[in-house]
Structures are given as C-alpha cells and as structure tokens.
Structure 1
C-alpha cells in the first residue's frame, strides 16, 4: 500500500511539473540566446534567469496563448554578438526579427528546426558564411530577409521547396555561381531581390513564369545570355542593369543580342499585355484628356486590332529568335545549343493569400515594450490616464462594451483578423455600433505615439468616413476596444461578383455615386485644414469601404495603422499586396504617400466598373483599349452612360499609373468627377 501511494504521489508530482519543465526549457534557451546575442549584457538585461519570459518583462519577447515563445523582435537594438543555435529550442516561434544590428558569425543550421517560423529577418548585419541548405526545409516560411550581410557561396537549390515564401531578399552580399532554376517553383513569391552580388550564368525562364512575381532585381551581377521576354510584364519591377553580358529584346537597359551571344532557347509568351497608352501626359492638371472616344467597340474593331498586333509581335519575335538559332547552328555546328535551365511543371497558382488574414488563434507577431512605465491597461474599468487628450464622451468602460456585445457573443461577431475582431453592438441608448477589439500586444509601444494617433482618429469628421465614437482598454482581457458607427449595408466587396438578379446588384448611378463618395473621403484624409494634418490611409480596399443607408460609402479604418506596432502593420499590408492594392513603388521604397492611396483608389474604380474583385489581363486590356463593352459589368446589360464610363476609366488608369508622380491628386480627381 505504501509503495502504491508513493508511486501515485510521484506520478502526480510529475504531472504538476510538466509545465514548469517545459517553461524551463525555453527559459534556458532564451538565456543562451541572450549570452550569444548580447555577451556584455548591455541591451538584454531584462532577460533574467529567474524571470518569466511570458510575463511581459523580457524585452522583445511575446508568447502565445499556451505560454510558448512565439515572437522575438530585437531589431535595431545594437546587438553585436552571434545568433545562437539554441533558438531552435523555441519550437513555437513564428517570427524572428534581428535586423538592423551588428551581428557576426554564421547563420546556424539549427534554425531550420523552427517549423512554425513564418518571418525570418536577419538583414543589415555582418553575418558571414553560406546560406544553410537546411533553410529549404522550413515549410512555413513566408519572408526571408538575409540582405546586406557578408554571405558567400551559392543559393541552395532546395530553397525552391519553400512553397509559402512571399519575399526573398538576398541583395548586397557576395553570393556567386548561377541562379538556381528551382526558384521558379516558389509559386507564392512576389519579391525576389538578388542584386549586388556575384551571380553568373543565365537568368532561368522558370522564374519568369511565376504568375505572382512583381519584383525581380538582379542588377550589379555578372549574369550573361538572353533575358526571357516574359520579364517585360514586370515593367519597372524588373531591374537588370550593370550585367554587361546580358542581352535582350524590348528592354531599354539591355543591348540587343547578337548571333555570337551564348543565348538560352526561350519560349515566347503567348500573350503580351499592351503597354499603357498614357494620353494623360499631365494627369495632375485639372483637365483629363479622355482618349476613349469609341466606347462601344465591337470584337472586330479596336480590341481585336490590339490582339492582332500582339499576336503579330509575338510571331515576329519568334521568327527573330528562330533566325538567331539557325544562324548560330550554322556557325557553330559543334556547339551544343540548348536550354541551360530546367522548367518545372508544378506551379502553385493560388493567389488567394487573403485567407491568411482570417486565420484563427494566430500568435502575436510583435513584441511590446512599454516605455517610461506606460501601461494603457493601467485601470481595467475606467481607463483613466488614457483619455486626457480625447474629446468629452469618448470614454467607454468595459461594462458598456460587454453589455453592447452581449459579452462578445459569437452571434455578434462580424469578422476576425490576425490582430483584431469586430463585433456588432447596441449601446444603452439603442445606438447600433461596431466594436473592434485589438490585442494590446499589437499596439504602439510608446504612450505619446499611441495617444497622438488616437487623438487624431477621434478628430476625423466627414460624411464618407466611419466615425470613431470611443475607446477603452481592459487589462483583464488584454485588449483595447474602438467603438465605431455601424454601417448597415455591409462592405463594398459584397456587391462584386454577384449573380444576375441578385439583391446586391448595383445600378450605374449607384456605382458612380459610390466612386464619388470614396474619392471625397480620401480627399478629406489627405487635406490639411482646420489644424488637421494630412493622413495617408495606407490600406484602402473594397473591404474597407462600408455601405450605409442610401448606399452612402464610408471609408473605414482611417488612421488605424497609426495605433498599431510596425510588424503588425507589415503583416496587414501583406494582405493588401496580395489583393493588388499595393502601389508598386512601396516594394522598393518601403514608404507610403498620398499617391499610394490614389493607386488603391484607381484599382477600386476598375473593380466597381467591372463588377469583379479580381481583374484579369484581358479585362485590363479591354479598359486600356477603350472597349468598355468588354470591360463594364455585363450585369448592367448596357445600361450605362458611355461618356461617364469613359471618364471613369480614364481616371482609374491615371490613378494606377506606375509612376507615382504621374498620378493625380485626390483634389484633382474629385474636381474631375464633379464635371461628369
């Protein structure tokens, strides 16, 4: 009996200690990581062996709901040590941000054991050695930033196995050998930067066939051979300067190929989108010169003419290349001419990256440091101290929020994202509101910065903006709440891709009115009047356009990103980029301007006119060719005004000009729409 009791006691003791043992494993790993990253203990003194990594005291460390380390954000901390292999023991880590430091040494191969890692930022350090081939096994990886280091060697071939990778940045290193054709298997890749290295050999055609690729930089290398014409579709997104041995057809930065160039056999694209005929040489001027004089073109007219020209161009290019190959064969009969790249038949063609925006139980992506002792959750009920700069009546307490949402009932849940959830609520006076809950770990870390953003949001007043009514934080729930006016008719995306006869169908005059309202809302944000600074929305999409009574459009989430931490903003913007609203210059500059909002507005015009969320190349071609019968929503059955459709198409094309300086301001757009 005594033996039985003893064994039972030991068993229960073992069970009670499981969490402690697991916690100690990660704590020991963090202490090893600290000693390696910060050997002099100058920057990570808050990491202590007797501390709690999930208690909020470890700078840059965030845990998930299971008290596992999910994120380490130590960018720009002045760290000068090395990356420890012990990082592999943090098995639930989803984000590792060590960029903009002075780290040395090699990238540990053990890092590949982080099977949940989505974001790996090691750029702008002094890392050396080669890229561990084991990184090719990190199936969850979406962003890999290794640029601006001292890495050498080649790109591991198995990196083509990273099927979820969106961004691969390896520029400004000393990488060499050839670019592996396996990178063409990265079907979700949108940005590939290999510039300022020592790569040699040809550019693989397999990369050009990637349907989602928007940015491909290979300038300042030692590449050679013929550049596949397929890269022309990237326009300014393809940069290949300072590769003297490269040649190509139709690239302004490349010399024409000669018969003596060691060319790759290429496949000519079956369809080449036309270059936009931008007759709006000065779209910033108030007068838009509409070139769509013939809006009702038959399929045997202008649209077909463009298609014929495209086919003729393709045929001519094919003949030229064939002539080159025959000439080479005659001159070099002993030389084997063939493709120096392989082409994979497998492609990940899905573009539905937006689904990641609705992942449930997502781990926090950013660390939070409260400077100067600031804690927005300092009072769980009254939120005192947070409202000093806010207007009267802006203060809500947790009880009001809970009552309005029926204690956050699932029946009231309108939507959920990685960093927030939105509930429908009813206040005590009967007012219907929308309440957005945001995890406190996603908010700005500095009190002054957070309060400045909140004060600005509370001051926004316009008939085409969703009004922010109030704000509160709950320390017990670990959340902050934004209370907005409720829009009764859903969002604009619900009115796209509708079936004929659906109740969500928008007639022509309603579409024009919605476009006009959105334009006025954005103009108000951009304007500086009555002490209000100009605001860039940064995340405009049809989902952000709410529809209220009488189909009045209301732009939502205006200025919301000013309250969120940088890495959360980056995560949200990945969704915007996947859906096509991201202005091309953001990829290269990393900065948003008013012209970025103008670009997104132009995309929305095209979506409203076509009635489609996704704009195909053929639809774009029809719009650029003024063949509006092939572009405007067929559900309208021709019931639209030719002159208005032509004018709106011109405005949309001007707004989506790839050169931001050539896009009009929203003031000009509003004035132009007023003349219709």
Structure 2
C-alpha cells in the first residue's frame, strides 16, 4: 500500500511542503528503516489504551505516550488534537511527515510512522530515554542530570550538525523555525536529536527568504523575523545562539525573581562579554575543571549567532567550524544582540529590536513544547 495516496485522500497539504510516497512496513517489522502506517488499535494496545500512566508529554496540539510495540520496540506516540476551525494540528501533522520521511541524520529525531483513523492523527517516533534537553538541564530535581563540560560540548556540536544538515545539505533547504531546548531530545547516550518539525518550512535555492506568519517561541525568536515575518536560515541561527548560551549557562532564556525582576540570558551574556567577565556565564555545576579557552569560544559563537543584524550572523556550517575550532575567530567583531520586546508589539507591527527593550514573557506564539518532553 502506498501511504501517499491514503494521505492525500484524508486532507490537503499546506503550501511549501511536499508529500512523499513511502511503502508501508511489512507486517513482520523486518525492515525498520521503512515508514509504517500503524492502525489505531495497534497504537492503543501499545500504550495501554493511552493510559495516564504512559503519558510522557503534553502540548498545545496533543499528548505523547510511551508505548511497547508488539515487536518489542519502545516507541513514543504523539496523538494530535485537531482544531476543526483553524485546522491547527493538521498542518503540523502534514509538515512533520513530509519533512521527516525524507531526512536521515544522527542528530534528527526518527519518525517511525503515523496513523490516520477518521479524525485521529498520530505520529510514532523512536523513544528517547533521556527526554528533552529542557528537562535534564532546566527541569525539576527529579529530571535533571548534572551535565559536565564534555556532555555540553557534544550536545552543542550535535545540534549544530543537525541544523547545518537541514540548512545546507538537504535540497531543498529546510528552516526549522522552532529551535529551543524542549525541542532537543536526548537518547540513552545523550546524543541530541532535533525534533518537532511541525512549523518547519522549505527554502528553495532560488529564494533568499519566505514571508510567513510569525511562529515559534518568544526568547528564541530572531527580531527581524518576529517583526516582519521574513523567514531565512538566519532565523534558526539566532535561535541556535540562544540555545547555545542556555547549554553553557544552565539558565533559562527568561528568568524572574521578586527581588530583581526579569532576567534575560542574551542580555546577561552580552553584559559579561563587554565587561570581560565572559566565563561568569558558565554553569557552576560544571565546576572548575573545564577548558576555559573552549568555553570562551562557545560563548562568543553564541553571541555571534544572536547579533541584531541577520547578515552578521554566521551560517550554521561556519558556526559549527567555529565551535570545532576549525576556523580562526580572532577577526570576528561581535555586535550588539537583538531582542524581541513583547508579544503585543509584534502583533501591532511595531519595531522591537534594541538590546534595552524588555520581553514581556517567554511564551509561545504558535508552537508546542517538545513532542517527547515530560509533563510538568
């Protein structure tokens, strides 16, 4: 059976995506590389009737459940909730499948298959033993892992490799549009997997950008994109820069306390850089035994990626080379980062791109938390 024909009969895909015909996996499950069209009953059985005990994540578009397939493999099953009026959820379902069925990379999440049963839409992924980066880095004590410098380095490099693959190796190129710590999943060896491609867009060779509605997560949004809807690969580069600073510092993008009010990670990193105290950003959990020169380089790459002017940000392949110390950074001049002031200004079309602006909240515009992240 061809999945593409079944797929197209159920709904019409959005613009800028292409549906890929893939063969259903044989019922014996002998070829794990093929995309599988699961039955609803099959996934219901695997998740014990989508029981609360098996729920491992919840977001705006639905819940994620841990499941034990009949062939013995452990999977993560994402059940999407579809808004009939806006078709939100449906678009993300289409985008996720059309993107991931054509991509294979160590640092991208693996989509094993899907289920279309009436109004029900389900996606099936490889199960990630260590959940999301947000959970182990910023979550509650029961979920946190004390990451040493080596682990943070490898996670950062892995995400950079995944994005460089999407931006420059895949044809046509792909902009993820929602890079953040909750969308970086970690397997049993802490190898990072970029996930949640529901907002991704194709960027063809003959265009420099596409214009689209603003989507993503405040705090990670590139200011020029938040203001104008002009989407480029540099949009992802900005988000990666914020993520890199998060990984190094172990701090949230926006924090709040009663005594000092709101704190913004990008602004804090910039202030420490200007004051020549850049190593103060490194997470104390790392301890004193880490390569200071490498840490300085990583923070500088993060700041290069979040510069206000998109043209000054490096491409992901160059950022990866900088992180790997394969290129000389001495001549790179880091300019002031850009920040998004608040959601209301974006909606009103007001320009909000100065360092001295303040966020209102690090809230979502149109994205969900990681499809495989734990419930809070």
- Shorter-chain TM-score: which interval? 0.5 to 0.7
2:290 counterpart of 1:640: yes
SS of 1:469 mapped into structure 2: strand
1:472-483 equivalence runs, <5 A = 472-475=115-118, 478-483=119-124
Query: Residues 653, 609 of structure 1: CA spacing in aligned structure 2 closer, same or farther, 3 A cutoff?
Result: same
1:318-329, aligned counterparts within 5 Å? Answer: none
Aligned pair count? 280
2:42 aligned with 1:397, yes or no? no
* Residues 586, 592 of structure 1: 8 Å contact kept: yes
Q: 1:483-518 CA deviation, whole Å, 9 max, x = no partner?
A: 111110111112334799996110011111110000
CA-based RMSD: 3.1
Q: Give the one of 292, 306, 325 matched to 1:675.
A: 325
Q: Any idea what SS the aligned residue of 2:172 has?
A: coil
Whole-angstrom distance in 2 between the partners of 1:522 and 1:603: 14
Q: 1:587-602 counterparts in 2 under 5 A?
A: 587-602=226-241
Say which of 74, 78, 94 aligns to 1:432.
74
Please give the alpha-carbon distance, in whole angstroms, between the structure 2 residues aligned to 1:555 and 1:663: 21
Q: Deviation of residue 407 (structure 1)?
A: 1.1
Where do 1:179-258 residues align within 5 Å?
none
Tell me how far apart the structure 2 counterparts of residues 413 and 509 of structure 1 sit (CA, whole Å). Answer: 31
Q: What residue is the counterpart of 2:31 in the other structure?
A: none
CA distance in 1, matches of 2:213, 2:137: 27
- Any idea what the Cα deviations from partners look like across 1:76-119, whole Å, max 9, x if unmatched? xxxxxxxxxxxxxxxxxxxxxxxxxxxxxxxxxxxxxxxxxxxx
- Cα distance change on mapping 1:585 and 1:424 into 2, 3 Å: same
**Equivalents in 2 of 1:507, 1:405: separation in Å?**
34
Compared with structure 1, are the counterparts of its residues 674 and 504 closer, same or farther at alpha carbon in structure 2 (3 Å cutoff)? same
Maintained 8 Å contact 2:63/2:79: yes
Unaligned runs of 5+ in 1: 1-373, 378-386, 564-568
Q: Which residue of 1 aligns with 2:365?
A: none
Q: Distance in 1 between the 2:77 and 2:197 partners?
A: 15
The 5 Å alignment of 1:10-89 reads none
- 1:570 deviation in Å? 6.3
Q: TM-score, normalised by structure 2?
A: 0.67
Corresponding residue of 2:343: none
Aligned to 1:662: 312
For the pair 1:468 / 2:111, whether they are aligned, the reply is yes
Is the Cα contact below 8 Å between 2:213 and 2:229 reproduced in 1?
no
**Contact 1:626–1:646 (Cα < 8 Å) also in 2:** no
CA distance, structure 1, for counterparts of residue 73 and residue 278 of structure 2: 43
**1:436–1:499 distance in 2 versus 1, CA, 3 Å:** closer
- Give the alignment partner of residue 166 of structure 2, picking from 525, 541, 552: 525
- Call closer, same or farther: CA 1:502–1:548 in 2, change over 3 Å: closer
User: What is the CA-CA distance between 1:521 and the residue it aligns to?
Assistant: 0.7
What is the CA-CA distance between 1:608 and the residue it aligns to? 1.0
For 2:10, the equivalent position in structure 1 comes to 376
Larger Rg: 1
For 1:417, the equivalent position in structure 2 comes to: 59
Q: What's the secondary structure of 1:554's corresponding residue?
A: strand
Q: Is contact 2:128–2:186 with CA below 8 Å preserved after alignment?
A: yes
Q: Structure 1 residues 392, 626: CA separation in 2 closer, same or farther (over 3 Å shift)?
A: farther
Asked if 2 retains the 8 angstrom alpha-carbon contact of 1:629 and 1:638, the reply is no
Work out the CA distance in 1 between the residues paired with 2:320 and 2:213: 30
1:508 aligns with 2:149: yes
The 8 Å contact of residues 391 and 458 in structure 1, kept in 2 or not, is answered as no
**In structure 2, C-alpha distance between the alignment counterparts of 1:515 and 1:662, rounded to whole Å:** 21
Q: Give the TM-score normalised by the residue count of structure 1.
A: 0.38
**Is the aligned partner of 1:493 residue 2:134?**
yes
Aligned partner of residue 653 in structure 1, secondary structure: helix
- Of 210, 220, 235, the residue aligned with 1:581 is 220
Q: Residue 427 and residue 661 in structure 1: after superposition, are their counterparts in 2 closer, same or farther (change >3 A)?
A: same
Consecutive unaligned residues in structure 2, runs of 5 or more: 1-7, 12-18, 26-34, 203-211, 254-263, 327-376
2:75 is paired with a residue of what secondary structure? Answer: strand
Q: Contact conserved, 2:50 with 2:65, CA < 8 A, in 1? A: yes
Distance 2:228 2:311 in 1: 14
